[in-house]
Structure 1
Amino acid sequence: MASTVGSPSKSPSSDEDLRQIVDPRKRKRMISNRESARRSRMRKQKQLDDLTSQASLLKTENEQIAVNFNFTTQLYLNLEAENSVLQAQMAELRHRLDSLNEIISFIKSSTRNLYDSEEHDEVSEIDGVVDSWGIPFLNQPIMAAGDMFMC
């Protein structure tokens, strides 16, 4: 054992030969590791750039969707308000139509009573007024434009 500790087991030339063999392998491995690390950094940078670009596109798309949503909401609110106005106008026109139909019914029943009565003298006096109302045309519907009754 003393001989192995105190004296070199190999000659100096064999250490040099070993170093010359190991050094190129070590250097080649170091270069390979550096290249691998560089490629890895490049992949990560490309991935980061791609994600940044995608985030920018999504943000732009999101802003466009928000603008479209706000525009559509405003159109909906406008249509809802217009619909409410039209429904109120329709209710008013129905009420007026019902009133006019009641008046027509009353006039029809009054004229029947006049013609059915035995007092022909009174009928002849009122006959001019009844004819001026156009009683033969009472069965025709009343047509009116929707904007005639705008309030």
Structure 2
Amino acid sequence: MASPGGTSSGSSLLHNSGGDEGLQTVTDQKKRKRMISNRESARRSRMRKQKQLSDLITESSQLQKENSQATMLLNIITRRCATVEAENSILRAQVMELSYALESLDEITQSIRGSNNMVLWDGTQLMNSLMISSWNFRYINQPMMAPAEKMFYYRQGAY
């Protein structure tokens, strides 16, 4: 059944193959355009990642610098706190010492006022009176405290 339609179908194949070439060209152009677009998108993505990495490195170095400064400040404050605590301890000891001395002086004045209701004018009589009485001079046995920063100064022998 060779018919003239067979020839016409051959000519339609030629016609279609010419159209296929045009279609192929359009498809190739679309592929190239998509490839270029993908490459550009990948390049922009790499640039964004590079910028983010750069920003993170900058932020990291800034935070490390701030951390270093905060640590240094903490060390300074810790040393100052220790110094203040030492001074506070010394002052408390001095308060205790002065309190004991005041109590002893109060006891002495009460005893002097209470002993026969007379005032002792002679220093030797006062000392004899104090020696006869059994006084508890608590403040005499208390050590004198020096400030912490002076202790090292005295130890070095540079009085």
TM over 0.5: yes
Cα separation, 2, equivalents of 1:16 and 1:105: 129
Partner of 1:69: 67
The C-alpha deviation readout for 1:72-121, integer Å capped at 9, x for no partner, is 01101110111011101100110011001100110111011011112735
Out of 80, 84, 96, the position equivalent to 1:86 is 84
Residue 125 of structure 1: how far off its partner (Å): 3.0
Partner of 2:30: 32
The C-alpha deviation readout for 1:5-31, integer Å capped at 9, x for no partner, is xxxx54765443222111101111001
Out of 59, 66, 88, the position equivalent to 2:57 is 59
The C-alpha deviation readout for 1:44-96, integer Å capped at 9, x for no partner, is 11011011001101110111011001100110111011101110110011001
Partner of 1:124: 121
Out of 13, 21, 45, the position equivalent to 2:43 is 45
* Deviates further, 50-59 or 112-121: 112-121
- Which 5+ residue runs of structure 2 have no aligned equivalent? 127-145, 151-159
Any idea what SS the aligned residue of 2:122 has? helix
Cα separation, 1, equivalents of 2:96 and 2:56: 58
- Which 5+ residue runs of structure 1 have no aligned equivalent? 4-8, 130-147
